[in-house]
Every structure is written in C-alpha cells, then in structure tokens.
Amino acid sequence: MINIKKNKTKSAKPEVISRTAGSWVYSRIVKDHFFRPRNLLLQDPAAGQYNAQGIIGSPACGDVMRIWLKVDPATDRIKEFRWRTFGCASAIAATSMLSVMVTERGGLKVDKALAIRPQDITKRLGGLPDRKIHCSVLGDKALRAALNDWFKQTGQYQRVIVEGTAIIDPDTKVTEADIEEAVIEGARTLNDLQKKTKVGIGNPACLPKAEELLRFYNEKYFGGGN
C-alpha cells in the first residue's frame, strides 16, 4: 500500500518548473490536484445524468481525457464538469484544475468556458514543465469536444467549433493540426518545425504559411514565438 501524505500549504506560490536528476519538479498545486483530484468520476454515469460529453486522445499514444458536462439550457452555464483521465500527473492535475475553473462561482457561461486557454490552466497550476504543456491542451480540446456535443444536441449548429485541418504542404501532406502538435511538442523555430514535420522541405512556397502558424501556436500556448 502506498501512503500519501497531504501537503498542507498556505500559499499558491509556484515552484520552479525544471528537470532535476532525471525527474520533473512540479508545483505544490499540481501535486495537490494529482493526489486529491476534484470532480473525478471513476464509473460511467447513469443515462441522462449529464447532457454533454467529450473525449480526446488515444490509449495507443498516451493520454486520454473524457469529460461529462451538465449545461443549464436556461442560463447557458456549465453547472457540473466531471471527468476521467488516463495519463500522467500533469494530465490528471490539468483536468482537475480545468473542472474547477469551469464550475467555480456558480459555473461559467459556455462562451466564457470556451475562452479559457491552455496557458490559463497552466498558470492556475503554478506552471508545468514545457514538455507537459500538451496535458493542459488535451483538457482544452476535450472541453471543446463536449461543448460541440452540447451544441449539436440542442440544434445550435452555428456555435459548433470546427478544428483546423487544412493541408499546408501538399507534398508532405502536413496539416495545420500537425504544425499545432509540433509546437506543443517543442517546435519554436522553423528549423525545429521542419525537423518534426518535413514541412516545406521540397516545397518552399508553403513556408510563409507554415511560419505564420508556427508564430500563432507559439503565442497561443506559450505566450510568444521566435
């Protein structure tokens, strides 16, 4: 049996997020949400208990996040956010924190919830290692998937969020989504991006668009680009 000691803290002061002796150093808030996850749902809910759900990720490649929402149709507020995550400490903590952010103070309106950015989750956690930023991104995507489910069920098709899948390089079939993923995994420069995706290697005409997306996603997830 593993004994878990609760870490009582008086401050939300973030710790330095770095890699030390081969292991990641997490903030006290991340540890708290990992050991005491909020709004976790270990078993599938009863039919009709929630009116929207979303899932993102794959067990074959890593983290999977599944969330259930209860949206009040009269107020357009998210009253409940329950979740189950298969993944690392960062994935669990990020989903737990997102569930708190969405439901605190009586629940956010849907549009306010959609405005939450991955870096907002990371900030509330006191930081995450760079290579774990994708964990907050998955939570953000799972929330959008659940709200798309809500929009479709209620006939609000004009509010459905369409994710970008445009092909940027027709030769290598690199898509906008591929560039987004490369940035999440650490691409900061065009050279980084080409090493990860091969975009523009034989078709330099697509490089301006690739560089534009590189800057956009670096700004979106990390607050700036090179």
Q: What is the pLDDT of residue 47?
A: 92
The C-alpha atoms of residue 199 and residue 207 are separated, in whole angstroms, by 7
The one catalytic residue among 1, 16, 46, 61: 61
| Sign, Cα dihedral of 26, 35, 186, 119 | negative
Residues 111-133 pLDDT 10s: 999 999 888 988 899 988 776 77
The one catalytic residue among 56, 98, 135, 193: 135
Residue with tokens 């549009």: 111
Contact yes or no for 123/30 (Cβ under 8 A): no
The C-alpha atoms of residue 128 and residue 203 are separated, in whole angstroms, by 36
Q: What is the pLDDT of residue 160?
A: 86
State both tokens at 201.
């290697």
- Mean pLDDT throughout 21-39? 82
The C-alpha atoms of residue 225 and residue 210 are separated, in whole angstroms, by 13
Residues 76-97 pLDDT 10s: 999 999 999 877 888 889 899 9
Contact yes or no for 119/222 (Cβ under 8 A): yes
Contact yes or no for 15/31 (Cβ under 8 A): no
Residue 222 has pLDDT above 70, yes or no: yes
Residues 164-178 pLDDT 10s: 678 898 887 888 988
Q: What is the pLDDT of residue 87?
A: 77
| Sign, Cα dihedral of 27, 30, 33, 36 | negative
Does residue 61 have an active-site annotation? yes
Domain boundaries, the chain: 26-159, 167-222
Q: What is the pLDDT of residue 182?
A: 86
Contact yes or no for 197/186 (Cβ under 8 A): no
Q: What is the pLDDT of residue 113?
A: 96
Q: Where does the pLDDT of residue 58 fall: very low under 50, low under 70, confident under 90, or very high at 90 and above?
A: low
Does residue 206 have an active-site annotation? no
Structural fold of domain 26-159: Sufe protein. Chain: A (3.90.1010)
Residue with tokens 């708290």: 32
What is the residue-averaged pLDDT of the chain? 82
* Cα angle value 54/58/62 (rounded, 5°): 120
Residues 138-164 pLDDT 10s: 778 889 989 999 998 899 988 988 776
Q: What is the pLDDT of residue 13?
A: 41
Options 1.10.10.60, 2.40.10.10, 1.10.10.1100, 3.40.190.10; which CATH number does 167-222 get? 1.10.10.1100
- Paired residues of 64 in beta bridges: 57, 86
Q: What is the pLDDT of residue 127?
A: 84
Q: What is the pLDDT of residue 5?
A: 39
